Structure 1
Amino acid sequence: MCEVAMEEQGSEITDMERCSSREEYGVIVESPRHRVNPPLSVVWTTMLYCAELITACILCKSYHKTNDVFWMSLTIVFMLVPAVLIQLTLTFIHRDVGRDRPLVLLLHLLQLGPLIRCFEALVVYFKAGQNEEPYVTLSRKTNLEKGREIELEIGQTERTLATHRNAFKRTAVIQAFLGSTPQLTLQLYANIQEKYTLSVRLALMIITLVSITYGALVCSVLAIQITYDSIKVRLRPAAYLCMVLWRALEITTRVTTLVLFSTALTHWVILVGGLNLLFFFFLPWVEFWAQKGSLAEGVEKNFSKLGTAVVLCMFTLLYACINVFCWSAVELDLAHQELINRKQSWRRLALYYSGRFLENLILITLWYFFKSDFFEYVCALLVVVQLLIGYCLAVLFMMLFYQFCHPCRSLFKYNVHDCLHCICCRHRPASRRGSMPPSYSTAATMLKEEPLELLDPQNCLPPDERESLA
């Protein structure tokens, strides 16, 4: 999964390899490479989609044989709802409604849209390099290592593959948090209530957990790419390892806590989940109304205000579903054209994880006191301790990522070490804050606001080279 995410990060249309020797006005001109990277992320997302769909169908057949109508109905709902949304997303991104493609639309109606899209991406990849094609557009990025601006030539093949990759990133997130997350919660709850484990159900739980972890990983990578859109970003394997451990532990402990709480207080879990969903759904809209902004006009040119509002509501619903189970890594701004606020706040991140830890602690404590007789043969106190330690480990890996593995950590003014040992920096005068000695490490953290001068590529250079450029 880390290799797929690395391919997804390194094969963006802005990531070129060969550089010509000429420089014009301090801009390095890079020519397009002769060989493009294979669309591994597209294939991986398609495999997860098909594996979860097939396994869910087999499990529904097993439920039908044992007359478990309730489990079967919910499994079908959590299987079909994300599948329909994925078909709509792929059709919307590729703009196939107004094109004469009956076979593609038929496969989308049969919920097999990802298969034909994956096939199209593979065909484009294997045909790449057969005919020499000129670049179709230019893009400029800042290389943090060299401190120079790089001009990139984008070919038609790379742009087409980038469209497929971007589409499947969105479908991976939709599949993870609108399908796999409720499916994993349901099957784990059914496994505890029925007091036995089916092999097919266990396989579906493993697939959904992998799908959720991958979807959360995609959210983190997309947040970095959106926040630092003008910078050439490349993540190392250690960064992906930290993110995978961070996301897997965070999601596993959260889902397990909710399921255990639901076994003790079944009806109360609906209130907890509903309040979480409503809070994160209305939070962007309340901020939007407080700012008295207007609806973003860049969603789709052909949409009316009603259509734009519907799309924004669906986008906000996805954002809320992500935050119910894990940190979404982005902050919505409905008035902005990109719908994302580039200035991410460390304070909001700290509040989220502090509040989530407190909520998990309360839920697991209530389960400990109101648990059913089935858990008498289980060391409940050990389960509580394991869940709390698991969530703390998730936060630890998150801090390690921002401290040592974030690709743009040289742009941050303060790192995690400074935030933990110098919390009073927020209350210091600006003069004293500016005269602070640099930290012993070059690691990163999230800032409330990033100074614009830090985004100047010349600030990444040593003083001697900076003077020579001036």
Structure 2
Amino acid sequence: MEEQERDISDMDLQECPSMPENGLMLVINHSRVHPPLSVVLATVLYCAEFVTAAVLCSMYHKTDDVTWMGFTITFMLLPAVLIQLALTFIHRDLGRDRPLVLFLHLLLLGPVIRCFEALVVYFKAGKKEEPYVTISRKISLKKGQERPMEWEIGQSERNLATHRNAFKRTAVIQAFLGSAPQLTLQLYATIQEKYILPTRLALMIITLISITYGALVCSVLAIHIRYDDYKVRVRLAAYLCMIVWRGLEIATRITALVLFSTALTYWVILVGMVNLLFFFFLPWAEFWARKGSLPENVEKNFSKLGTTVVLCMITLLYACINIFCWSGVQLDLSHRELIERKQRWNRLAMYYCGRFIENFLLIALWYFFKSDFYEYVCAPLLGVQLLVCYSLAVLFMLLFYQFCHPCRRLFKYNVHDCLHCVCCRKGRGRAGRRGKPPLSYSTAATMVLAPEEPLDSQNAHPPDLTSQLGERETAILEDMMEAA
């Protein structure tokens, strides 16, 4: 339902005839329904990876590579089964009489039928008059003035929004519970067998695309959840910056793990388990430290046991994401939305500093314990290239948050402020003795608008962050995934 809202801009207000005296303004969205490209892309990646992995398993079976075949089948079936469960849960099909859909889910073809349903809804949209659902939202039209607006959204748009939201979740599941371990496995097999198999190379390329897309979706979902009072429009420059950032981060991380595993095979299991357990228990430790209670709105019919199981699955996915890249969010298991709204720069800095040190140690240990296979490879140059690529990923991440983030004006602090505080503390102290320090340009461009504490699920209302913005700055925002 939130996918199709238009921008609130000065031009929209001028085109409106007249505003009633009570300040209630009716805005009807007659814009063209956008095609579900994100649904199609997620389905294509799912099918391509599944088919390529199946072909590769048959080749492993012919050559009696039982180990590679077993792990490939595991990383192929595990995300597929979880995706079927996620789609069934989101669309609530267990309580509906849809035997064909459930049968296709049993055949692991759920994403295909869901994609077909989304395309049918899209092509039928607008051909017949549909009932509208009206929702209200307070938007600050001018500084110091608030008027509620009513939006009317069609049933087809709501159905497409449901499909898009479902496939965003499945893309993340596919990327980090299937594609990431699959890519790690196939790269390790390639190095161990010392030759490149065309089918294996194709699977590695598909999985890398799937992981990058899943990380991109994860970043955008984090923005939407944190700023759900707005419709966020992500520009093309922000997309490109995120793709380079996520692609370099994931590629260097997986390469460092694989190189380390070729030198110290069994120790990589310890590294992976320590990472997984740390990020899995971190949200639960914070939950117990805060003495919070489990949220009751995960699902109405769930008992406490069912809610705990769902939260454990979410925490497992969160841990798997953080093993390979920054998840973009921090979990708050006591909050009704399970996500902290506050942007924690210290968490971001600690994660990337710790990950850089870990990658450096993995590459250094590989260099000292590498096998004879790397005699024809310039090992020091390869290690330096990996560290430089990870540094470039961090650089593009900083550029995204400083210049390309769609809601950077709402940050309490930005990247420039944090770097200025860390690097120029002494110089700023001298300037304070001589006179008033110059105003930071990022401080002038950002507003102190972020809430210090999570919102109370019953009593508190989301803050109207636009109330402190200018007249033209109220129209930052709309959804973006149609362009994904």
Normalised to the residue count of structure 1, the TM-score between the two structures is 0.89
Equivalence for 2:49: 52
State the 1:443 CA deviation: 9.1
Which of 402-411 and 249-258 deviates more?
Answer: 402-411
- RMSD, aligned α-carbons: 2.9
Q: Secondary structure at the match of 2:19?
A: strand
Equivalence for 1:23: 19
Query: Structure 2: how far apart are the matches of 1:268 and 1:39?
Result: 44
Matches within 5 A, 1:51-130: 51-130=48-127
Q: Deviations over 1:182-230 (max 9, x none)?
A: 0000000000000000000000000000000000000110011011111
User: Structure 1 residues 238 and 412, CA, compared in 2 at 3 Å: closer, same or farther?
Assistant: same
Which of 451-460 and 320-329 deviates more?
Answer: 451-460
Query: Structure 1: how far apart are the matches of 2:233 and 2:297?
Result: 28
Q: Does the 8 A contact of 1:257 with 1:363 survive in 2?
A: yes
Equivalence for 1:5: none
Q: What is the identity, as a one-letter code, of the residue corresponding to 1:303? A: F
Equivalence for 1:461: 470
State the 1:462 CA deviation: 6.5
Q: Deviations over 1:211-268 (max 9, x none)?
A: 0000000011001101111122111000010000000000000000000000000011
Matches within 5 A, 1:271-420: 271-420=270-419
Q: Secondary structure at the match of 2:266?
A: helix
Q: What is the identity, as a one-letter code, of the residue corresponding to 2:188? A: Y
Query: Structure 2: how far apart are the matches of 1:114 and 1:60?
Result: 22
Q: Deviations over 1:349-391 (max 9, x none)?
A: 0000000000000110000100000001100001100100000
Equivalence for 1:33: 30
Query: Structure 1: how far apart are the matches of 2:27 and 2:405?
Result: 25
State the 1:422 CA deviation: 2.0
Q: Secondary structure at the match of 2:229?
A: coil
State the 1:16 CA deviation: 6.0
Query: Structure 2: how far apart are the matches of 1:11 and 1:400?
Result: 28
Equivalence for 1:4: none
Query: Structure 1: how far apart are the matches of 2:367 and 2:395?
Result: 25
Q: Does the 8 A contact of 1:141 with 1:230 survive in 2?
A: no
Equivalence for 2:5: 14
Q: What is the identity, as a one-letter code, of the residue corresponding to 1:298? A: N
Q: Secondary structure at the match of 1:341?
A: coil
Q: What is the identity, as a one-letter code, of the residue corresponding to 2:441? A: Y
User: Structure 1 residues 446 and 224, CA, compared in 2 at 3 Å: closer, same or farther?
Assistant: farther
Q: What is the identity, as a one-letter code, of the residue corresponding to 1:73? A: G
Gaps of 5+ in 2: 454-461, 475-484
State the 1:415 CA deviation: 2.3
Equivalence for 1:250: 249
Query: Structure 1: how far apart are the matches of 2:447 and 2:390?
Result: 20
State the 1:446 CA deviation: 12
Q: Does the 8 A contact of 2:142 with 2:471 survive in 1?
A: no
Equivalence for 2:218: 219
Q: Deviations over 1:135-170 (max 9, x none)?
A: 213142648999976543222111110000000000
State the 1:65 CA deviation: 1.2
Q: Secondary structure at the match of 1:208?
A: helix
Equivalence for 2:440: 439
Q: What is the identity, as a one-letter code, of the residue corresponding to 1:242? A: C
State the 1:325 CA deviation: 0.5
State the 1:418 CA deviation: 1.8
Q: Secondary structure at the match of 2:35?
A: coil
Q: Does the 8 A contact of 1:332 with 1:339 survive in 2?
A: yes
Q: Does the 8 A contact of 1:107 with 1:113 survive in 2?
A: yes
Equivalence for 2:482: none
Using the aligned pairs only, state the percent identity: 71
Q: Secondary structure at the match of 1:422?
A: helix
Q: Does the 8 A contact of 2:398 with 2:415 survive in 1?
A: yes
Q: Deviations over 1:73-106 (max 9, x none)?
A: 1000000000000000000000000111010000
Which of 81-90 and 405-414 deviates more?
Answer: 405-414
Q: What is the identity, as a one-letter code, of the residue corresponding to 2:381? A: L
User: Structure 1 residues 243 and 370, CA, compared in 2 at 3 Å: closer, same or farther?
Assistant: same
Q: What is the identity, as a one-letter code, of the residue corresponding to 1:23? A: M
Query: Structure 1: how far apart are the matches of 2:118 and 2:140?
Result: 29
User: Structure 1 residues 289 and 420, CA, compared in 2 at 3 Å: closer, same or farther?
Assistant: same
Q: Secondary structure at the match of 1:30?
A: strand
Query: Structure 2: how far apart are the matches of 1:167 and 1:40?
Result: 13
User: Structure 1 residues 209 and 281, CA, compared in 2 at 3 Å: closer, same or farther?
Assistant: same
Higher RCO (CA-CA < 8 Å; seq separation 6+): 2
Query: Structure 2: how far apart are the matches of 1:269 and 1:371?
Result: 14
Query: Structure 1: how far apart are the matches of 2:199 and 2:17?
Result: 58
Equivalence for 1:3: none
Q: Does the 8 A contact of 2:410 with 2:465 survive in 1?
A: no
Query: Structure 2: how far apart are the matches of 1:11 and 1:232?
Result: 8
Query: Structure 2: how far apart are the matches of 1:368 and 1:136?
Result: 62
Q: Does the 8 A contact of 1:59 with 1:200 survive in 2?
A: yes
State the 1:414 CA deviation: 2.9
Query: Structure 2: how far apart are the matches of 1:313 and 1:322?
Result: 14
Normalised to the residue count of structure 2, the TM-score between the two structures is 0.87
Q: Deviations over 1:18-58 (max 9, x none)?
A: 77444356665421224200000000000000000010011
State the 1:12 CA deviation: 1.2
Q: What is the identity, as a one-letter code, of the residue corresponding to 1:30? A: V
Q: Does the 8 A contact of 1:63 with 1:71 survive in 2?
A: yes
User: Structure 1 residues 281 and 253, CA, compared in 2 at 3 Å: closer, same or farther?
Assistant: same
Q: Secondary structure at the match of 1:122?
A: helix
Query: Structure 2: how far apart are the matches of 1:398 and 1:128?
Result: 38
Equivalence for 1:196: 195
Query: Structure 1: how far apart are the matches of 2:314 and 2:425?
Result: 33
